[in-house]
Amino acid sequence: MTYGILSFGAYIPPLRLSRQAILAAVGWAVPSLRGMAAGERSVANWDEDALTMAVEAGRDCLAGIDVLPPHLALASTTLPFADRSNSGVVADALNLDNRMATEDLAGSRRAATSALARMAHGGPTSLLLSSDCRETRPGSAQEMLYGHGAAALLVGEGKAVAVFLGSASRHEDLVDQYRASDADFDYSLEERWVREEGYLKIVPEVIEEVAKNAGIALSEIDHVVLHGSVDTARALAKRLGIDVKRFVDTLGAKVGDCGVAQPMIMLAKVLAEAGVNERILVVGFGQGADAILLQTTAALSTMQGQRGPQRYLEHHRVTDNYTCFLSLRGQIDIDFGLRSERDNRTALSAYYRKRRDINSMLGGRCRVCNTLQFPRSLVCVKCAASDSQDGETLSNLIGRVKSFTEDWLAYTPSPPYIYGNVEFADGANIMLEFTDFTAGQVKVGDAVRLVFRIKDFDTKRNFRRYFWKPSPLLD
Partner 1 sequence: MAKGIKDRVAIIGMGCSRFGERWDCGPEELIVEAFTEALADAGIDREQLEMAWLGLFFQEQSAGKSALPLSMSLRLPNIPVTRVENLCATGTEALRGAVYAVAAGACDFALAVGVEKLKDTGYGGLPERTKGSFDDLWLPNATAPGAFAQLASAYTAKHGCDPKDLKRAMAHISYKSHQNGALNPKAHLQKAITEDQALNAPMIAYPLGLYDCCGVSDGAACAIVTSVEKAREMGIKDMVTVKAMQLAPSNGLEMSNTAWDGSYLLTTRIAAERAYKEAGITDPVAQLDMTEVHDCFSVTELVVMEDLGLSVPGGAIKDVLDGKFDRDGKVPCQIDGGLKCFGHPIGATGLRMAYEMYLQLLGRAGKRQLKSPSLGLTHNLGGHPFRNVASVSILGLHSA
Bridge partners of 450? 470
> For partner 1, which residue of 405, 438, 441, 459 counts as binding (CB under 8 A)?
405
Q: Which of residues 71-100 bind partner 1 (CB under 8 A)?
A: none
- Alpha carbon 34 to chain centroid, angstroms: 29
Binding segment for partner 1 (CB under 8 A), chosen from 69-77, 93-101, 119-127, 353-361, is 353-361
Residues for the chain: how many in total?
475
Binding segment for partner 1 (CB under 8 A), chosen from 85-93, 138-146, 194-202, 404-412, is 404-412
Answer whether the bond into residue 416 is a cis peptide, omega within 30°.
Answer: yes
> For partner 1, which residue of 347, 387, 462, 475 counts as binding (CB under 8 A)?
347
Q: Is 461 in the site for partner 1 (CB under 8 A)?
A: no
Q: Which of residues 379-398 bind partner 1 (CB under 8 A)?
A: 381-382
Nearer to partner 1, 85 or 421 (CB): 421
In the complex, minimum distance from the CB of residue 415 to partner 1, in angstroms, rounded to a whole number: 11
Q: Is 420 in the site for partner 1 (CB under 8 A)?
A: yes
Instruction: List CB contacts of 180: < 8 A, sequence separation 6 or more.
Output: none
- Alpha carbon 412 to chain centroid, angstroms: 23
Q: Could you write out the DSSP letters of every residue in 22-78? A: HHHHHTTT-GGGGGG-SSEEE---TT--HHHHHHHHHHHHHTT-----SEEEEE-S-
In the complex, minimum distance from the CB of residue 359 to partner 1, in angstroms, rounded to a whole number: 10
Q: Is 162 in the site for partner 1 (CB under 8 A)?
A: no
Binding mask 325-344 for partner 1 (x = CB under 8 A): ------------xxx-xxxx
Is residue 422 within 8 Å of residue 401, measured between CB atoms?
A: yes
Binding mask 131-150 for partner 1 (x = CB under 8 A): --------------------
Give dist(CA 76, CA 261) in Å, integer.
8
Is residue 199 within 8 Å of residue 232, measured between CB atoms?
A: yes
Alpha helices in 247-321 (DSSP H): 262-273, 300-303, 310-314
Binding segment for partner 1 (CB under 8 A), chosen from 20-28, 163-171, 178-186, 426-434, is 426-434
In the complex, minimum distance from the CB of residue 274 to partner 1, in angstroms, rounded to a whole number: 41
Give dist(CA 128, CA 90) in Å, integer.
11
Nearer to partner 1, 241 or 445 (CB): 445
Total of residues contacting partner 1 (CB under 8 A):
53
Query: For residues 194, 120, 66 and 133, what is the CA-based torsion angle, rounded to 10 degrees?
Result: -20
Which positions touch partner 1 (CB under 8 A)?
Answer: 337-339, 341-347, 350-351, 354, 357-358, 371, 373-375, 377, 381-382, 402-412, 416-417, 419-421, 423, 427-433, 439, 444-445, 455-456, 465, 467
